[in-house]
Structure 1
Amino acid sequence: MAFDSHSLAELGFRGPRPTWQEPGVTGIGREPMHAPLVPYPDAGAALAGGESPWRLSLDGTWRFLLLDAPDAAPGDFAARDFDDAAWSALEVPVSWTLQGHGAPAYTNVLMPFATEPPAVPEKNPTGLFRRRFALPRAWDGRRVTLTIGSAESVVYVWVNGVAVGMGKDSRLPSEFDVTAHVAPGENAIALAVVQWSDATWLEDQDQWWLPGLHRSVTLTCTDRTWIADLALRAAAPERGEGVVEAELRVGFSGAPEPGWSADLALVDARGRTLAEARGAAVPVFRRDAPVVELVDGYLFRGHVARASLAARGVAAWTHETPVLYRVVATLRDPAGAAREVVSQRIGFRTVEVRDNALLVNGQPVQIAGVNRHEWDDVRGRAVTLEGMRRDLLLMKRHHVNAIRCAHYPNDERFYDLCDELGFYVVDEANLETHARWSSLCHDARYQSAMLERGARMLLRDRNHPCIVLWSLGNESGYGPAHDAMAAWIRRADPTRPLHYEGAIGKDLHAAAPVSDVVCPMYAAIDEIVAWSRSRKDRRRPLVLCEYSHAMGNSNGSLADYFAAFERERGLQGGFVWEWADHGIRRTSADGRVDWAYGGDFGEAVHDANFCCDGLVGPDRTPHPALEELRTLAQPVRVSARDARSGRVEIENRRWFTDLSDLAARFAVEVDGKPVQRGALALPAIAPRSHASVRVPLVRPALEPGQTCVLTLRFTSKRATAWAPAGAEVAWAQLPLRFGELAARRPVAAKAARGAPVSVDVGAHAIELVGDDFALVVDRDAAAIASFAWRGAAIFERGPVATVWRAPTDNDGLRQGWMRDVQGVLREWRRLGLDRLERRALRTRARALRDGGALLALETEWLGADPGQRLRHRQDVTVDPAGALRFTDVFEIPAAWSDVPRVGVVLALPAAFERLAWLGLGPHETYPDRRASGRFGRFASSVTAQYVPYVAPQEHGHHLGTRWLSLVAEGGPAVLVTAARPFGFSASHFRAEDLTAALHQSELSPRDETVLHLDAAHRGLGTASCGPDVLPRYRVKPGRHRLAWSLIPAERPPR
């Protein structure tokens, strides 16, 4: 075939008015959207699924050339015989900027260029792709289509030098009929992908700008008369019967021919046919006579065969019971011969909104959801099936039951997995105009493109039972296009409610007829509670489309949100923002791995690390906050009726299944040590029901001051797709308190024999020396300078007052324009809390009658305003054996109304690496994120306390600590106890190291172990995008006290 050099202009790829600058031109030569259908030669193959002889993948190696603009393309690059040998080789699917071609850029709201819509920059990266393929001989004479799964932001297609078409919408496929352009033997495909287009203004979605071919490219072969679409509806079974309503659309290459029909069968997972409908006629438009043509002009609804399949005994589909069936459709020609077979999976379920509830099969399921972008830290948006499955299995293990596709339709395989595993999905149109929030939704030039994005999404995805809500987009204002889209979707699919936050905004009482749920983002708890109690809206539920922003060390008050969801009418949960950090993996010259974010590629406009706001890291390492979500969403809850007698109440929090699949075990633990274990007879408690169960407790022998708890674990009896048999599904812990032990005695160092402590007071130093130890005080600093025991250094930088923590992302972003508008960090720095100046006030020491010594140290710490200062008094009692008893009293000035922490910090040699503690663990806990902390005795290491948040920050804090020990390799141990539970963290980094570092690779562990002991510590909140720490979790000014002991020993406590 000869190449027509005018074809570059024919599609508007280049020229004076390119189609990539025409909002009203969304596609050229593109086939209508339909369900993802794979044709098979027979019903057996269609039922089995898998590879089809009528499908050919073009994934793999393509030739690639990156240009600065479309006009730079060689005039004949699309020609069949064009020599592309000098081009690069790229593996498709691909985000080309992550393969060394150009650079990625990240923005949240602002566009990465300064133009007005629909204009884009003249410098417009354009990727040319070429590939050769051989058409199978069996395909000769049949219809052939080419599908581009995803192209950002617009793709132009040529086959054998002939212009085929163009498609916009980076998150839905573009399919082209190439039958007339392919031939037996070798063929050539050329694609041009333009990064910036008018459509870019509709895809401003808080993400990396990554041009490329992000999903598969495929060829499909069908009969000349083919199954063009198959639409299925299957409501939840009623009175034991399930009904599938099917519509099969037929395409004709030539003139429509009467006499074609379709057979449909409903088949279960074991291959049994449950229902059949044979001979469903495919109507054609009749022109037999004028009156017939007139009547058909009114009544004809397309070449669509319709049938109902009714079957008894089918199971309902839910997130707990994702039972799937398959509809097999066979197209027959007028002679009755089978010409093509396809199949689609379905689930029987009903979704409706009424009485302030989103009902799935009649039940108001609480949404424990997450927002999820498509992301791979190496491949970008070219996600793999294995990556999707990894995400979903991890979600199932952590009791996530719902996913919002933020903010575009996902790869079609993702919905298949959600159908299989059981998730409720909000399918969202690829529409966000964040940078022009209130204008583009009223811009007539964009109206058809906006409507089309919602319509094409529905037409592709409507057969999936997992999809329970259609979303009209995200952060796109509210205008006529949304009204049109809502009307179209309601008519096309009346079985699902609609979701659109843009019509709600900050007014939770907005009428917003386009949204069947009240779906605000980042609303505070008091706001949603006030909405519930107002009862102004008696139909719609409130489901937070985004909340609990998971940026860095975050998700404070998630338990408070869950408490409101369960307590208040109409509050039905929400979707945590978001699932995964969007860091880009990189390796430094010395082999250190970390993740890049906005600004790391030299882009002038960026939003720094705001893309790193997930419950898991870019490599899917779970953050501790994910464990908090898992605990709050777990399906079993336990409360005490009479814990001392072993009587507990067990509640099944599920909506559709009982607890017969779970086994239960209990343990009685005293100071973290199990003293009794056993199995528990767990009834098959019905959904949303509870039962009283007696645990066969044997009352333990306790000493004053010991803590006794009852721990219950619920495990799976059999393996699931996401966890092996025996995996923990839920847990609970109840305190066991006995009256005579209610008073806790202070835990202090025991007096030990030895020579009396000598006290030597000099002008600049005080030395306290015993048989086994030496303690030196720097009088100029009013602080302990060193402490050694039996010749080994215990700490080298004494316990001094601190109110600073390395800022979390919620405290305040440290880079980008948002650092100037968000967080309490600005106030902390204005007060000078990060650079307090220490002044020594008083140092005194004296010997005690019992042979010990008393040391009194007083300091003040001045902020930016010298009139505002922290006063710290530290009394230290030193016994002859070297045990130190501290009493620290802190006076926080009233002007410091909200400080990060109050406590002391000391530095031990780095050899103190082995760590153990009795308290909450095993992961970090904070005042407003502690529901998932279990009380127990934990053994770990200082190194393991590091939590690799993409941007280094405060981490590793542990609440409710009774004692901790640090053991040096080949050396002594140190025990820290306290009269009351305290907080601590142990690290090889100082707070100032974490404050200064913006990437993990900028950190180098110090040759010391930094130990923080806190009397009070601020919560985490979600202020990077949402409410700040609630007042009850903040550190108030005034007096704070910390009484604790440090005891050196040869070995740690047992």
Structure 2
Amino acid sequence: MTDPLTTFSPGEGRRPPRAAFRSDAPRLILDGDWRFRLSPSTAEAPTGIERPDFDDSGWDELPVPAHWQLHGHGAPIYTNIAYPFPLDPPYVPDDNPTGDYRRAFDLPEEWGDLGAVLRFDGVDSCFTAWLNGQELGWSTGSRLPTEFDVTGIARPGRNVLAVRVHQWSPGSYLEDQDMWWLSGIFRSVTLLARALGALDDYFVHADFDHTTGRGTLRVDTSAPARLTVEELGLRDVPAQGPYDLAAVEPWTAETPRLYAGELRAGGETTPLRIGFRSVAVEDGPLKVNGRPVLLRGVNRHEFHPDHGRVLDEETMREDIVLMKRHNINAVRTSHYPPDSRFLELCDELGLWVMLECDLETHGFSLTGDWRGNPSDDPRWREAYLDRMQRTVERDKNHPSVVMWSLGNEAGDGCNLQAMAEWAKRRDPDRPLHYEHDWDSRYTDVYSRMYTSHEELDAIGRRAEEPLADPVADARRCGMPAVVVEYAHAMGNGPGGLAEYQRLFEKYERCMGGFVWEWIDHGLRQDGHFAYGGDFGEELHDGNFVCDGLVFPDRTPSPGLAEYKKVVEPVRITMAPDGIEIANLHDFRGLSHLVLTWCVEHEGEETASGDLPLPAIPAGSPPALLPYPTADTTGPLTVSARLAKDEPWAPAGHEVAWAQRIPEPIPARRPTRGTRPDPGLFDTRTGRLTRLGDLPVTGPRLDLWRAPIDNDRLGHDPVADTWRRIGLDRLHHRLLGMDTEDDTLVVRTRVAPAATDLGMYATYRWQDTGEGLRLTAEIEPDGDWQDISLPRLGLRMSLPAWIDHVTWYGLGPGEAYPDSRLAARLGRYSSTVDALQTPYVFPQENGSRADVHWAELTGPQGGLRLTGAPTCHLTARRWTSEDLDTARHTDELRPADAVHVNIDLAQHGLGSAACGPRVLPNHRLTARSAAFAVTLSETADG
């Protein structure tokens, strides 16, 4: 056979691609512990491993499926774009780690008269297989299945399977996705018995006519087969049909109706799950079952912090359940087909799926002009077509798959067009996507990435930058538009989600988008999650691999809570004349929901009840309900909740909510405490040092925050400007301390070294009888030239025995100017430690917004602060400088104080690490400002 390391061919000896399915035929799952040996290069790999009598007793054991780098053999590598080897296609370096696997297994006698197929569901990146000493063939295409016919080779009794896997291969040039480079047999290996006349493949065509409610069913089969679908009255009929069905319930992501059926052929029975639906680009928008759909989506890599891309069914189901509970309705399988079981779960639980081919050549962009890119090199044509064919054939029977994607960031060229032409011939009933087809010559939707809000508005109006060819431009303007990656969810963020969603909903052309991305790819190590550079890589892209809405252990981030709120399928609006209920589902009414309400005073519920929820079909105008109570002295919260259990959430799960906040908020009721003694001040610095018996340090002006990923990364990192000016190293100078009537006035100038820029900060202290009221007045000094500030507020420190925080304000989670819709007004309690959000890369986090009052307490008492009317509060056991210095969470060690920020404002979050900067209305600039807070000592705890 051809040397797999020196050819453009995708493989040899393989069976044609076909659908993934299970039947009642015998099968032997070969997962488990295999013998394994890793050689530093192919030249150093042992010879003769294919012989059944080869002595592998000295080899290690390695589980299959697994990545060898995560079991002590070699190390992971993370790059976003750059290839970790020279661009010299199709060749790879001589130092090519090579893993050899061996597995002995027994077959029962009844397999003797049956054919057999050996199936590998995923091997990274290239492998050759031998069974009982006979070479079967080799294959590339890591995230795609490979099958070999082993009829007559597999035999009853003892069998020995040997597999040689190369870390790098020509196929690696087509797999430059933004993720860890991890190798090995990472999906299941199965031996399948195949009887004469049994099905080799089938293609379910289940169409739905939305104008009549009728369905049409036919099943194309590789051999004559009989079809039974009891619910449809089809019993042992020819599979090919077609059958015109008077009435069927359509499949949608909101109502994933599946009909159970089966195919019988050659003595074998194959179960089916049939979903009737139609997909079309029609009159502009993307339509399913005749209705436009709005994608509230995420990009999803397969990832587990301990196992890499090895996922069990429980983890796949967990992903989908979390998505459904957070109002996500769509997934793009970035950037390869996932384990086929994931798609079965999408069929069952309901998600729209953009199924993407295992293709990316992004590293060729670094040549400057995509020089040498395989996408336009005819020598790679077979490999490109092979990947598309294996993708479509495996997953063609899933109703959840409503769109094929050719791949990601592979430039443009003839091979991509060939993929598109083949896919349209094979499956004309699904639209095609590919983002780099910017002229939309061979795809069906206009796709963009990291589009600014301004550009998205232009696209929605069909006023984007025109193409040179008027005919092509008119064709593209008539297409639906999708933002296939947006709102880069790296670290603390993304900001601006609500503004994106308003544009998606405003323009019919916009079919929504997919947030980048679902999960942080942090690999678990002692005390923290690792990212690029933690394994000594020659090239790496740092923590750019951690950019998800859930943390590596699948704990939801604040960004996911915000996304859930922004994309609620029911919008509840507290209008002046009543409660407006809008149904934003694409298909489903609201009969599965109930409305509840409650009124709270200072976080304590004083009244509650249910509201009648009118029938509001999808697409109907909103309904207006009267307010359930005349009480406007406390916040009224209205929630839409599941009326009964769903497969993805229990009854009572909250889908949507809204609050009516009274203006002004009533004053806080008295709480326990003692009237403080006057504060003690340091006459040298003007700083408060004691409040009653409570030692304190500060407060004083603070302009710095530990940069978030969106501050420090991207094309124009704003944190670079902040550091250049010196906002991370402020000096304070006392200008004077005076008494004016009953007020202590402390005047200071705050400025960094090496610049004439500064801030005048005047602190006015008054003993009000309920505490010390501080009014801080800020005045910029110098030409700040509209420079943004990280924060504008006060910093102080309290004794380390402070361990608990209770506040009345927004919560329970953190909130920032452009990511705060998920926070609701209430009374909350937390430990200081639990206030922290453990972003994989330490950065600013944990701010609670619109705090009316808060108590920071411990066993010896504590501090009470009251806003005028509100402030933003952060409390942590380390400083912003500690956060700024740390690179992993376990580097953050509790100090001998609790550090508190009382902020007037912070700069927004944006998504500039890979996207637009903070919107103008969420930027914090140097300006005159004044705000007040009252501080008092609480009684001993």
Q: TM-score interval w.r.t. the shorter chain?
A: over 0.9
Alignment match of 1:559 (pick from 489, 498, 504): 498
Q: Distance in 1 between matches of 2:562 and 2:182?
A: 33
Q: Does 1:1007 align with 2:911?
A: no
Q: Please report how far the alpha carbon of residue 893 of structure 1 lies from its aligned counterpart in structure 2 after TM superposition.
A: 4.4
Letter in 2 for 1:247: D
| 1:338-357 superposed matches below 5 A | 338-357=266-285
Q: Does 1:376 align with 2:376?
A: no
Q: Distance in 1 between matches of 2:525 and 2:4?
A: 37
Alignment match of 1:665 (pick from 587, 592, 596): 596
| 1:944-1023 superposed matches below 5 A | 944-969=834-859, 971-1023=860-912
1:155 corresponds in structure 2 to 127
Q: Distance in 1 between matches of 2:303 and 2:191?
A: 26
| 1:152-231 superposed matches below 5 A | 152-231=124-203
1:474 corresponds in structure 2 to 408
Q: Distance in 2 between matches of 1:748 and 1:263?
A: 75
| 1:868-947 superposed matches below 5 A | 868-879=757-768, 883-891=772-780, 893-895=782-784, 897-947=787-837
Q: Distance in 2 between matches of 1:582 and 1:916?
A: 34
Change in CA separation of 1:380 and 1:753 when aligned onto 2, cut-off 3 Å = closer
1:1034 corresponds in structure 2 to 923
Q: Distance in 1 between matches of 2:508 and 2:186?
A: 42
Q: Please report how far the alpha carbon of residue 860 of structure 1 lies from its aligned counterpart in structure 2 after TM superposition.
A: 1.7
Change in CA separation of 1:892 and 1:228 when aligned onto 2, cut-off 3 Å = farther
Asked if the contact 1:39–1:222 (Cα under 8 Å) also holds between the matched residues in 2, the reply is no
Q: Please report how far the alpha carbon of residue 747 of structure 1 lies from its aligned counterpart in structure 2 after TM superposition.
A: 8.7
2:364 corresponds in structure 1 to 436
2:703 corresponds in structure 1 to 803
Alignment match of 2:225 (pick from 244, 257, 262): 262
Q: Distance in 1 between matches of 2:379 and 2:579?
A: 64
Change in CA separation of 1:659 and 1:115 when aligned onto 2, cut-off 3 Å = closer
Q: Which has more radius of gyration?
A: 1
Asked if the contact 2:760–2:781 (Cα under 8 Å) also holds between the matched residues in 1, the reply is yes
Alignment match of 1:420 (pick from 327, 343, 348): 348
Q: Distance in 2 between matches of 1:496 and 1:464?
A: 11
Alignment match of 2:524 (pick from 585, 588, 610): 585
User: Residues 924-949 of structure 1: CA distance to partner in whole angstroms, max 9, x if unpaired?
Assistant: 11110111111112122211111010
Deviates more, 1:978-987 or 1:384-393: 978-987
Q: Distance in 2 between matches of 1:941 and 1:538?
A: 53
Letter in 2 for 1:123: D
Q: Please report how far the alpha carbon of residue 446 of structure 1 lies from its aligned counterpart in structure 2 after TM superposition.
A: 1.3
2:582 corresponds in structure 1 to 651
Change in CA separation of 1:943 and 1:893 when aligned onto 2, cut-off 3 Å = farther
| 3-state SS, counterpart of residue 415 of structure 2 | helix
Deviates more, 1:316-325 or 1:306-315: 306-315
Asked if the contact 1:584–1:597 (Cα under 8 Å) also holds between the matched residues in 2, the reply is yes
Letter in 2 for 1:475: E
Alignment match of 1:611 (pick from 545, 551, 566): 545
Change in CA separation of 1:582 and 1:540 when aligned onto 2, cut-off 3 Å = same
1:465 corresponds in structure 2 to 399
**Runs of 4+, deviation exceeding 4 Å:** 535-538, 744-750, 879-882
Q: Which structure 1 residue ranges, 5 or more long, are not aligned?
A: 1-10, 13-17, 41-51, 251-260, 281-305, 332-337, 505-509, 588-592, 703-707, 755-771
User: Residues 701-730 of structure 1: CA distance to partner in whole angstroms, max 9, x if unpaired?
Assistant: x5xxxxx32210122121112211222122
Q: Please report how far the alpha carbon of residue 838 of structure 1 lies from its aligned counterpart in structure 2 after TM superposition.
A: 2.2
Deviates more, 1:222-231 or 1:520-529: 222-231
2:466 corresponds in structure 1 to none
| 3-state SS, counterpart of residue 503 of structure 1 | coil
Q: Please report how far the alpha carbon of residue 863 of structure 1 lies from its aligned counterpart in structure 2 after TM superposition.
A: 2.4
Change in CA separation of 1:218 and 1:723 when aligned onto 2, cut-off 3 Å = same
Alignment match of 2:4 (pick from 8, 13, 19): 19
Change in CA separation of 1:1049 and 1:479 when aligned onto 2, cut-off 3 Å = same
Change in CA separation of 1:979 and 1:648 when aligned onto 2, cut-off 3 Å = same
| 3-state SS, counterpart of residue 519 of structure 1 | strand
| 3-state SS, counterpart of residue 97 of structure 1 | helix
Change in CA separation of 1:179 and 1:822 when aligned onto 2, cut-off 3 Å = farther
Asked if the contact 1:355–1:538 (Cα under 8 Å) also holds between the matched residues in 2, the reply is no
Alignment match of 1:240 (pick from 189, 213, 216): 213
Letter in 1 for 2:685: A
| 1:722-871 superposed matches below 5 A | 722-736=648-662, 773=677, 775-784=679-688, 786-789=689-692, 791-793=693-695, 795=696, 797-813=697-713, 821-845=715-739, 848=741, 853-871=742-760
User: Residues 998-1030 of structure 1: CA distance to partner in whole angstroms, max 9, x if unpaired?
Assistant: 101111122322111111211100000000101
Asked if the contact 1:234–1:243 (Cα under 8 Å) also holds between the matched residues in 2, the reply is yes
1:317 corresponds in structure 2 to 251
Alignment match of 1:711 (pick from 628, 634, 637): 637
Change in CA separation of 1:878 and 1:749 when aligned onto 2, cut-off 3 Å = farther
Asked if the contact 1:377–1:584 (Cα under 8 Å) also holds between the matched residues in 2, the reply is yes
Q: Does 1:720 align with 2:646?
A: yes
Q: Distance in 2 between matches of 1:712 and 1:411?
A: 40
Q: Please report how far the alpha carbon of residue 273 of structure 1 lies from its aligned counterpart in structure 2 after TM superposition.
A: 5.4
| 3-state SS, counterpart of residue 190 of structure 1 | strand
Asked if the contact 2:806–2:855 (Cα under 8 Å) also holds between the matched residues in 1, the reply is yes
Q: Does 1:399 align with 2:357?
A: no
Asked if the contact 1:747–1:978 (Cα under 8 Å) also holds between the matched residues in 2, the reply is no
Letter in 2 for 1:150: G
Percentage of pairs with the same residue: 40
Q: CA RMSD in A?
A: 2.1
Q: Distance in 1 between matches of 2:152 and 2:115?
A: 9
| 3-state SS, counterpart of residue 994 of structure 1 | helix
Q: Does 1:691 align with 2:580?
A: no
Deviates more, 1:867-876 or 1:156-165: 867-876
Q: Distance in 2 between matches of 1:694 and 1:798?
A: 49
User: Residues 488-532 of structure 1: CA distance to partner in whole angstroms, max 9, x if unpaired?
Assistant: 11111110001000112xxxxx3x122211110000011011122
1:107 corresponds in structure 2 to 79
TM-score (norm 2): 0.95
Change in CA separation of 1:776 and 1:114 when aligned onto 2, cut-off 3 Å = farther
Q: Does 1:274 align with 2:246?
A: no
Q: Please report how far the alpha carbon of residue 70 of structure 1 lies from its aligned counterpart in structure 2 after TM superposition.
A: 1.6
Q: Please report how far the alpha carbon of residue 37 of structure 1 lies from its aligned counterpart in structure 2 after TM superposition.
A: 2.8
2:468 corresponds in structure 1 to none
Q: Distance in 2 between matches of 1:368 and 1:753?
A: 52
Q: Distance in 2 between matches of 1:273 and 1:363?
A: 24
Q: Does 1:531 align with 2:459?
A: yes
Q: Please report how far the alpha carbon of residue 139 of structure 1 lies from its aligned counterpart in structure 2 after TM superposition.
A: 0.8
Deviates more, 1:1036-1045 or 1:804-813: 1036-1045
Q: Distance in 1 between matches of 2:259 and 2:226?
A: 16
Q: Please report how far the alpha carbon of residue 346 of structure 1 lies from its aligned counterpart in structure 2 after TM superposition.
A: 2.0
Deviates more, 1:557-566 or 1:241-250: 241-250
Q: Please report how far the alpha carbon of residue 629 of structure 1 lies from its aligned counterpart in structure 2 after TM superposition.
A: 0.9
Asked if the contact 1:748–1:885 (Cα under 8 Å) also holds between the matched residues in 2, the reply is no
Q: Distance in 2 between matches of 1:880 and 1:932?
A: 36
Letter in 2 for 1:1000: T
Letter in 2 for 1:56: L
Deviates more, 1:653-662 or 1:519-528: 653-662
Q: Distance in 2 between matches of 1:165 and 1:1006?
A: 61
Asked if the contact 1:518–1:541 (Cα under 8 Å) also holds between the matched residues in 2, the reply is yes
Q: Distance in 2 between matches of 1:903 and 1:371?
A: 37
| 3-state SS, counterpart of residue 220 of structure 1 | strand
Alignment match of 2:18 (pick from 9, 18, 34): 34
2:241 corresponds in structure 1 to 307
Letter in 2 for 1:911: W
Q: Distance in 2 between matches of 1:182 and 1:882?
A: 85
User: Residues 802-848 of structure 1: CA distance to partner in whole angstroms, max 9, x if unpaired?
Assistant: 110010000014xxxx7xx54111111111111122222222347x5
User: Residues 574-617 of structure 1: CA distance to partner in whole angstroms, max 9, x if unpaired?
Assistant: 00000000000011xxxxx2100000001110000000000000
